[in-house]
């Protein structure tokens, strides 16, 4: 399932959002997701996607912003958890 | 000052959800206290409580709203809806900014906070829900009553421990009587049955031992063998409106608030003061413009703790002198438990219903007479015809805030 589909499923289940409204341009406030709702959505996304999102203020205005942000975090955390090839020869041998 | 009528009652209590159900239980002395089954309740010395049978989904909270509401707020909102429905149109034709919400709660969203601390300390996790502050804050129940009904007048939360909701009703009465507002939604809500809260009360040595024969009889106000209180949960809300308005819209007038006394011990943070309690009763009488001889019966604070019941008895004797022995005194916490910040409001309602039905409610589980508690507590059996038409209802608190309400029946 894509990131978009998984987040749609969460919004429908937790916030009773009509999935028809969930276009990339849909403003979160217009679909009933206020600032607390965004914080809660991100909290639930951490569980759903197994992510640890940074505790920093975010400017996520639309549904598309959320999907892009989550996809970006997935890639970033995959990269940071993958074994590094570069420089491995310099690691001290325990 | 305007006369103030009570025109709506809303209840969510261990004794039931309708005024009939609650009154019948109180009259029959049916205890709602039972062994408590929560996570880790085996860690409690005496796991007892008076709980509410409550289904949040059936209470019409949709999931987006429900996730923000602690149990205490759910109780408060449902009780307020019931009080408003009961009033048959009290909110019609009144500007919403002329309607106030006055709510008492001692521990507010303690269940949510307890969950948060369990996550933080118990599970050593930093994943605290983003909604925790909004669930746990003390003014959440009052705020949600306002949101639920679009009420834009004053919205106040009182937290004076066990007198919170009597203070809330008293302060609401003052504002309606003085004309500051034209309608008040007033009362209290409490949902304190989280492990952390129960352990803290237990540590104070205030909670009752379990009665070996019947756990439901563990709270024994004014009885020599009393050992403490039992915590309860729930909400009680009343609507207060000017008598003239209530009469002109042909509302059913359930009774009238006629006085409110509020004093503070300012001596000891936890030890009750008979002098402070007596002063509050006198202040309520003075506020009502009546003498002690006008009081027909009393709903006592009557917690079932060793200290309270002796102090309250002494306070009543101090105010009523030789008449003290003749006044029926009811302590209903024996069966619904101590609802802390909601206790005063529930007992206010029980006093009102007792007068309507002309019955002095029984003080249950009064098994052994105590020479320090030697008044007429209507022991164990309701007394038809004994309530009279004018009552005091007492609420005293840790912190020393003593609140007493004077009320008159609609039959006056």
pLDDT in the model for residue A90: 46
Phi-psi region of B241 (alpha: psi -120 to 50; beta: other; left: phi over 0): beta
**Chain-chain contact of A15 with B129 (C-beta, under 8 angstroms):** no
Tell me the shortest Cα–Cα distance from B143 to chain A, in angstroms.
Answer: 16
Whether B42 sits among the annotated catalytic residues: the reply is no
Set of chain B residues whose Cβ sits within 8 Å of the Cβ of A11: none
* Cβ within 8 Å, pair B130-A43: yes
Distance from the B64 Cα atom to the nearest Cα atom in chain A, whole angstroms: 5
C-alpha angle B16/B344/B57, rounded to 5°?
40
- At a CB cut-off of 8 Å and minimum separation 6, what does B307 contact? B271, B272
A27-31: long-range pairs with CB below 8 Å, 24+: A27/A61, A27/A62, A28/A60, A28/A61, A28/A62, A28/A63, A28/A66, A31/A63
Q: Is the pLDDT of residue B65 over 90?
A: no
Q: Considering Cα of B285, then B288, then B292, then B295, what sign does the dihedral take?
A: negative
Record the tokens describing residue B268, joined without a space.
């000891």
Residues contacting residue B98 through CB under 8 Å, at least 6 positions apart: B153, B181, B182, B183
Architecture of domain B259-409: 3-Layer(aba) Sandwich (3.40)
Q: Residue A25 contacts by C-beta under 8 Å, 6 or more apart in sequence? A: A62, A63, A64
Per-residue model confidence (pLDDT) at position B13: 98
Helical axes B110-117 vs B71-86, angle rounded to 10°: 160
What span, in angstroms and rounded, lies between the C-alpha atoms of B347 and B326? 21
CB contact under 8 A, B63 and A36: no
Confidence of residue B53 (pLDDT cuts 50, 70, 90): very high
A89 has a pLDDT exceeding 50: no
Interchain CB distance below 8 Å, A40 and B134? no
Q: Are residues B127 and A16, on separate chains, in Cβ contact within 8 Å?
A: no
User: Which residue segment(s) compose the domain that A38 sits in?
Assistant: 3-81
For residue B361, pLDDT over 50 is answered with yes
**Domain CATH code at residue A30:** 1.10.1200.10
The closest CB to that of B131, out of A16, A40, A42, belongs to: A40
Contact B129 A40 (CB under 8 A): yes
The two domains B4-248 and B259-409 share their CATH topology (first three levels equal):
yes
Q: What is the pTM of this model?
A: 0.93
Token readout for B31 is 């205890």
Q: How do residues A8-24 score in pLDDT, each as one tens digit?
A: 999 999 899 999 999 99
A30-39, B17-26, B207-216, B224-233: range with lowest mean pLDDT? A30-39
Q: What residues in B contact A28, CB-CB < 8 Å?
A: none
Residues of B (109-168) whose Cβ lies below 8 Å from A? 127, 129-131, 134
For residue B264, pLDDT over 80 is answered with: yes
- Whether residue A89 is contained in a domain is answered as no
Is any Cβ of chain A less than 8 angstroms from the Cβ of B208?
A: no
Residue A94 pLDDT class (50, 70, 90 cuts): very low
B322-342 CB burial, b ≥16 within 10 A, e <16: eebeebbbbbbbbbbbbbbbb
- State yes or no: pLDDT of B253 exceeds 90: yes
What would the CATH number be for the domain defined by B4-248? 3.40.47.10
Q: Domain extents for chain B?
A: 4-248, 259-409
Residue A54 forms part of a structural domain = yes
A53 part of contact set with chain B, CB < 8 Å: no
> How many domains is chain A partitioned into structurally?
1
pLDDT tens readout for residues B213-238: 999 999 999 999 999 999 999 999 99
The pLDDT mean for chain B works out to 96
Using an 8 Å Cβ cutoff, are B75 and B103 in contact?
no
Whether B162 is a known active-site residue: answer yes
Which residue of B lies nearest to A17 if distances are taken between CA atoms? Answer: B64
Is residue A91 one of the residues assigned to a domain?
no
């Amino acid at each position: 399932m894509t990131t978009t589909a998984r987040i749609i499923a969460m919004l429908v289940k937790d916030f009773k959002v009509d999935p028809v409204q969930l276009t990339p341009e849909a403003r979160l406030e217009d679909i009933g997701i206020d600032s607390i709702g965004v914080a809660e959505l991100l909290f639930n996304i951490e569980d759903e996607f197994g992510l640890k999102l940074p505790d920093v203020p975010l400017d996520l205005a639309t549904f598309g912003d959320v999907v892009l942000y989550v996809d970006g975090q997935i890639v970033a955390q995959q990269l940071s958890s993958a074994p590094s090839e570069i420089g491995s020869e310099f690691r001290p041998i325990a | 000052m305007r006369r103030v009528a009570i025109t709506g009652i809303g209840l969510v209590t261990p004794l039931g959800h309708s005024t009939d159900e609650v009154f019948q239980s109180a009259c029959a002395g049916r205890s709602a206290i039972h062994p408590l089954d929560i996570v880790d309740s085996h860690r409690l010395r005496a796991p007892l409580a008076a709980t509410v049978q409550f289904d949040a989904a059936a209470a019409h909270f949709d999931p987006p709203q429900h996730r923000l509401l602690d149990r205490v707020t759910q109780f408060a909102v449902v009780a307020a809806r019931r009080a408003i429905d009961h009033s048959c149109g009290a909110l019609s034709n009144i500007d919403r900014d002329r309607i106030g919400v006055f709510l008492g709660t001692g521990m507010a969203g303690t269940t949510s906070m307890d969950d948060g601390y369990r996550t933080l300390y118990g599970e050593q996790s930093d994943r605290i829900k983003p909604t925790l502050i909004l669930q746990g804050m003390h003014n959440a129940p009052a705020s949600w009553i306002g949101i639920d009904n679009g009420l834009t007048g004053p919205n106040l939360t009182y937290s004076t421990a066990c007198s919170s909701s009597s203070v809330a009703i008293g302060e609401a009465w003052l504002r309606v009587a003085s004309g500051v507002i034209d309608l008040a939604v007033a009362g209290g809500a409490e949902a304190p049955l989280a492990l952390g809260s129960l352990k803290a009360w237990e540590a104070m040595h205030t909670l009752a031992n379990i009665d070996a024969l019947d756990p439901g009889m563990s709270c024994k106000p004014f009885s020599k063998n009393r050992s403490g209180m039992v915590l309860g949960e729930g909400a009680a809300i009343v609507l207060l409106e000017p008598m003239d308005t209530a009469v002109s819209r042909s509302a059913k007038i359930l009774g009238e608030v006629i006085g409110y006394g509020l004093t503070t011990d300012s001596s000891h943070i936890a030890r009750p003061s008979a002098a402070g309690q007596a002063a509050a009763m006198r202040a309520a009488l003075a506020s009502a413009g009546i003498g002690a001889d006008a009081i027909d019966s009393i709903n006592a604070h009557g917690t079932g703790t060793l200290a309270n019941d002796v102090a309250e008895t002494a306070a009543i004797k101090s105010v009523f002198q030789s008449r003290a022995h003749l006044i029926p005194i009811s302590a209903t916490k024996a069966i619904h438990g101590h609802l802390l910040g909601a206790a005063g409001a529930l007992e206010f309602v029980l006093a009102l219903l007792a007068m309507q039905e002309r019955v002095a409610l029984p003080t249950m589980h009064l098994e052994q007479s105590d020479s320090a508690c030697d008044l007429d507590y209507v022991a164990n059996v309701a007394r038809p015809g004994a309530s009279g038409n004018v009552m005091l209802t007492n609420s005293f608190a840790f912190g020393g805030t003593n609140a007493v309400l004077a009320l008159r029946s609609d039959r006056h």
